[in-house]
């Protein structure tokens, strides 16, 4: 029923990587994030390479990507030239950041396309149906987008209050 640290660590990193791929983030990116999450100290590229058995190029590119997503940041150690990396340990803040990015990268482009669809011309039933469906999608997407925006801007208390109320 118990488990050694190394085994647990391995399992967690694996699981986080898998979750990553299911969500369109790549595996290595998820694994690096997991590793930084459970590490109290900031890690260097070398250390990441070593722990995950991946190449320098791979480590570097995925660390960059995590920085782009705004969920990993650089840390310099006094007197050291090397770069180290950490990720915030606040899960809510992480969720917020991921929401922010996905909203920007995925929801917004699709919303723009859906809006455009109202410009389709023609008075056939086919066109009418097309516009109805895309308008519905647009309406729904807008609602979700608005809620997401609220979440992104909200503070901790607001979020947990909403969750609580939501679950009655």
Partner DNA sequence: TTTAACTTTCAGTAAATATTGAAAGTTAAA
Partner DNA sequence: TTTAACTTTCAATATTTACTGAAAGTTAAA
Q: Minimum distance between the CB of residue 42 and its own copies, rounded to whole angstroms?
A: 14
Complex with its own copies: residue 60 or 162, whichever CB lies closer: 162
Q: Cα–Cα distances in Å, from 26 out to 14, 21, 23, 105, 136?
A: 12, 5, 8, 15, 32
- Select the residue interacting with DNA from 33, 48, 62, 72 (CB under 7 A): 62
- Whose Cβ is closer to its own copies: residue 46's or residue 90's? 90
Q: How far apart are CA 40 and CA 21, in angstroms?
A: 25
91 binds, among DNA, its own copies, none (CB under 5 to 8 A by kind): its own copies
Regarding 116 and contact with its own copies (CB under 8 A), the answer is: yes
**For the purposes of burial, counting CB atoms within 10 Å of the CB of 72, is it exposed (0-12), middle (13-18) or buried (19 or more)?**
buried
Give the HSE-up count for residue 110: Cα atoms under 13 Å, Cβ half-sphere. 15
Q: Does 73 bind DNA (CB under 7 A)?
A: no
**Residue 31: exposure state from Cβ atoms within 10 A (0-12, 13-18, ≥19):** buried
The pair of three-digit structure tokens given for residue 30, joined into one six-digit string: 């998820």
Q: Which does 3 bind (CB under 5 to 8 A by kind): DNA, its own copies, none?
A: its own copies
Residues 10-69 that bind its own copies (CB under 8 A): 11-12, 15-16, 18-19, 21-24, 37-38, 40
Partner whose binding site includes residue 40, from its own copies, DNA, none (CB under 5 to 8 Å by kind): its own copies
């Amino acid at each position: 029923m118990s488990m050694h640290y190394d085994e647990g660590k391995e399992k967690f990193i694996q699981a986080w990587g898998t979750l990553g791929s299911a969500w369109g983030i790549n595996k290595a990116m998820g694994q690096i994030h997991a590793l930084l999450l459970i590490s109290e100290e900031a890690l260097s590229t070398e250390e990441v390479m070593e722990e995950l058995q991946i190449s320098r190029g791979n480590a570097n590119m995925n660390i960059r990507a995590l920085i782009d997503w705004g969920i990993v940041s650089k840390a310099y150690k006094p007197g050291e030239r090397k770069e180290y990396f950490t990720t915030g340990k606040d899960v809510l803040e992480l969720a917020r950041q991921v929401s922010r990015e996905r909203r920007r990268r995925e929801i917004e482009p699709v919303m723009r396309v859906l809006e455009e669809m109202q410009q389709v011309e023609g008075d056939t039933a086919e066109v009418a149906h097309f516009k109805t469906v895309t308008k519905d999608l647009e309406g729904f997407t807008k609602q979700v987008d608005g809620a997401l925006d609220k979440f992104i801007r909200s503070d901790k208390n607001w979020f947990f209050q909403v969750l609580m109320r939501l679950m009655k």
